[in-house]
């Protein structure tokens, strides 16, 4: 009976995590409540995850990663991409991939990608490159490199502490490196040569935030019922008025159509996201060729005027705005800005539809503000200003101190002089004490929703182990492959874990798969360590969808991607991880 009750809770949890009908942290709390009220776990067992070393270590590493970003210890290296590439796309891509990979091997990869999104957008604007050729590759490089060390991704830290809890010891800080580095090098090599052919070529609409003689503005036009554009290609029709007009998106009934992907004829009611000079914009408006989408808004297209700036703001994972209704958020209340529209994946919300919209990770807000507001927006960690490298205050004087603290953490943890949790807590404490990270920013960097999700899934994993649910599913899994031997069963577990992480978060997948992996090994009578390692690599092999990994979701909007774009590079990368893992895990960690 208990097995089926835990199974029911597990299924409901998976549905809620995949559909996001509830915030993930609320789902995690619901799991703990369900396990306590049904008597499956005692109250102490249900909340034991809050004291789990993995949760404490991951939280401390969030603070250390934030410190490294804030002091410019990573950002300064990243900005050299712009200077060294000198407009050569292949060199720019190679430098970006290598720097992101190196940084992601030692600090949490999500803030690295957050930092690199504006760098990539600036690079694209400076040298007329397509950001969609670079953003998914950067996300994938960070994921690949994150599996190279224990501290590269929170998933490895969680698996390591669960391994200790099950009695098989922690993972060393470089224990995954012998397999992680070859997989990362092969994967990054594939990305470098294949992305230019497989990735779409989307131009970035927001580039010119600085004043210049030839300044161009981003505007939203609507095709009226009597417009001569109806039935014609919008780009060609506007090009007749001026060859310098650019059409970036066509919004039709809230859905986004990219002209560079799909040729369509303009229809009455279509919204066009375009860029042009003040004279070009005013010219087509005077001729009634198109109308402004919101005629009442005070858009200023006066040449040389420095007051009106239109920007895109991306919502990162650590934003305090997540879950808030947009028009009730602090962004709307404390800044003198006008929210024009919101883009979420391939859906576009205009002003009339954003009143009830709740903010999610990766949302892009199109806003108009005064240039006086720009510096304040850059300082705010709740969003990233697109095409703006300096999207946060960088305290470069503290960079050497942050570097020393981080180097000491690596040395003490890798040599075994101190436990990784002790090193992480000490590092976080010293970062705050020395001023590398203000205490106020430290609380915001914690990503409480991620930590609570880990706590909730640890409780569910404990319930699976206690009730025999994990053993039951392990026996069922083995029965499917029992004639094929332990190596093949290990490969099957790796594949199943990778498939699961395409839909769930990598952390949730790791926690839920660990008891099953250990039970499978015990049922086979072999060493559980290779199966634990398989969970590490399988849970991080999330390349085929945008929803399983935060970095994939972050680049969705800025890159103008479709779901299918993730499959083009993602499936081959998944195969690289699965094939190399299946071959080399049993060799490096013998069964």
pLDDT, one tens digit for every residue, the chain (591 residues)? 688 888 888 888 888 877 777 887 888 899 899 999 988 889 998 888 888 887 888 888 888 888 877 776 665 665 666 667 666 777 878 888 888 898 888 887 777 887 777 777 777 766 667 788 888 999 999 999 989 998 888 889 889 988 988 888 888 889 999 999 999 999 999 999 998 888 887 766 656 544 444 456 667 788 888 888 888 888 888 877 777 677 878 888 777 787 877 788 888 888 887 877 666 776 777 777 777 655 444 444 444 444 566 677 888 877 777 777 776 666 665 556 777 667 776 565 555 555 567 788 778 777 777 777 777 777 777 777 775 444 444 556 777 888 888 888 888 887 778 888 888 899 999 998 988 888 877 877 777 877 888 888 888 888 888 888 877 877 777 777 767 788 888 998 899 888 888 877 788 888 888 888 888 888 888 999 999 999 999 998 889 888 777 788 778 877 778 778 888 999 999 999 999 999 999 999 998
Of how many residues is the chain composed? Answer: 591
Cα atoms found within 13 Å of the Cα of residue 274, Cβ hemisphere only: 31
Q: How are the residues of the chain apportioned to helix, strand and coil, as percentages rounded to the nearest 5?
A: 60, 10, 30
CA–CA distances in Å: residue 491 to residues 63, 199, 508, 520: 35, 30, 20, 12
pLDDT at 127: 67
Question: Which domains does the chain possess?
Answer: 2-201+402-588 (no CATH), 212-304 (3.30.70.1450), 306-386 (3.30.70.1450)
pLDDT at 589: 93
Query: 228: closest CA among 296, 293, 284, 295?
Result: 284
Residues 488, 475: Cα–Cα separation, whole Å:
15
Place of tokens 């003689």: 213
pLDDT at 74: 61
> H-helix or E-strand containing 219?
strand 217-222
Residues 366, 436: Cα–Cα separation, whole Å:
32
Residues 237, 557: Cα–Cα separation, whole Å:
27
Sequential DSSP letters for 247-291: EEEEEETTEEE-TTT------TT-EEEEEE-HHHHHHHHHTTSSE
Query: 154: closest CA among 549, 418, 504?
Result: 549
CA–CA distances in Å: residue 149 to residues 56, 81, 265, 510: 18, 24, 51, 16
pLDDT at 393: 45
Q: What is the pTM of this model?
A: 0.74
Instruction: Could you list the beta-strand ranges (E) of 144-245.
Output: 217-222
pLDDT at 478: 75
CA–CA distances in Å: residue 196 to residues 79, 133, 314, 564, 573: 22, 6, 25, 16, 16
Query: Strands 384-385 and 308-314, how do they pair?
Result: antiparallel
Residues 69, 480: Cα–Cα separation, whole Å:
47
Residues 333, 312: Cα–Cα separation, whole Å:
18
Residues 50, 402: Cα–Cα separation, whole Å:
28
Residues 12, 6: Cα–Cα separation, whole Å:
10
pLDDT at 308: 61
Q: Give how far the C-alpha of residue 114 lies from the chain's centroid of Cα atoms, to the nearest Å.
A: 8
């Amino acid at each position: 009976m208990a097995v089926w009750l835990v199974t029911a809770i597990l299924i409901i949890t998976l549905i809620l995590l995949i559909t996001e009908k509830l915030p993930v942290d609320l789902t995690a709390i619901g799991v703990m409540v369900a396990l306590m009220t049904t008597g499956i776990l005692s109250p102490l067992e249900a909340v034991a995850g809050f004291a789990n070393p993995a949760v404490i270590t991951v939280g401390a590493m969030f603070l250390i990663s934030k410190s490294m970003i804030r002091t410019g210890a990573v950002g300064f290296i990243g900005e050299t991409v712009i200077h060294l590439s000198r407009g050569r796309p292949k060199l720019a891509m190679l430098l970006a991939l290598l720097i992101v990979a190196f940084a992601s091997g030692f600090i949490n990869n999500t803030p690295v990608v957050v930092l690199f999104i504006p760098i990539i957008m600036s690079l694209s604007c400076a040298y007329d490159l397509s950001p969609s050729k670079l953003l998914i590759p950067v996300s994938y490089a960070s994921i690949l490199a994150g599996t190279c060390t224990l501290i590269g991704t929170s998933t490895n830290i969680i698996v390591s502490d669960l391994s200790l809890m099950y009695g098989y010891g922690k993972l060393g800080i470089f224990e995954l490196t012998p397999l992680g580095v070859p997989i990362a090098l092969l994967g990054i090599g594939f990305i470098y040569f294949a992305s230019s052919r497989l990735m779409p070529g989307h131009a970035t609409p927001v580039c010119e935030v600085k004043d210049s003689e030839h300044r161009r503005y981003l505007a939203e036009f609507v095709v009226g019922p009597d417009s001569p554009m109806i039935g014609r290609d919008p780009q060609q029709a506007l090009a007749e008025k001026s060859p310098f007009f650019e059409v970036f998106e066509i919004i039709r009934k809230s859905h986004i159509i990219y002209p560079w992907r799909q040729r369509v004829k303009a229809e009455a009611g279509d919204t066009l996201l375009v860029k042009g000079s003040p004279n070009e914009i005013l010219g087509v408006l005077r001729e009634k060729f198109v109308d402004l989408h919101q005629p009442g808004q005070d858009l200023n297209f006066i040449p040389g005027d420095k007051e009106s700036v239109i920007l895109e703001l991306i919502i990162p994972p650590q934003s305090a705005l997540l879950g808030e209704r947009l028009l009730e958020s602090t962004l709307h209340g404390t800044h003198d800005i006008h929210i024009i529209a919101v883009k979420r994946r391939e859906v576009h919300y205009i002003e009339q539809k954003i009143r009830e919209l709740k903010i999610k990770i990766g949302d892009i807000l199109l806003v108009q503000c005064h240039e006086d507001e720009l510096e304040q927006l850059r300082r705010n960690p709740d969003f990233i200003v697109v095409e703006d490298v300096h999207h946060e205050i960088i305290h470069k004087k503290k960079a050497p101190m942050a570097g020393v603290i981080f180097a000491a953490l690596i040395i003490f943890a890798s040599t075994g002089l101190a436990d990784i949790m002790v090193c992480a807590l000490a590092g976080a404490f010293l970062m705050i004490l020395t001023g590398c990270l203000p205490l106020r920013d430290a609380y915001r960097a914690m990503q409480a929703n991620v930590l609570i999700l880990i706590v909730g899934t640890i409780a569910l994993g404990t319930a699976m182990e206690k009730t025999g649910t994990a053993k039951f599913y392990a026996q069922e899994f083995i029965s499917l492959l029992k004639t094929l031997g332990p190596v093949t069963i290990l490969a099957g577990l790796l594949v199943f874990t990778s498939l699961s992480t395409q839909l769930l978060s990598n952390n949730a997948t790791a926690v839920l798969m660990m008891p099953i992996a250990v039970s499978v090994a015990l049922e086979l009578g072999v060493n559980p360590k290779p199966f634990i390692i398989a969970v590490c690599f399988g849970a991080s092999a999330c390349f085929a969808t945008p929803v399983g990994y935060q970095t994939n979701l972050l680049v969705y909007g800025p890159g103008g991607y479709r779901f299918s774009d993730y499959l083009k590079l993602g499936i081959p990368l998944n195969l690289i991880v699965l094939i190399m893992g299946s071959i080399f895990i049993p060799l490096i960690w013998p069964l």
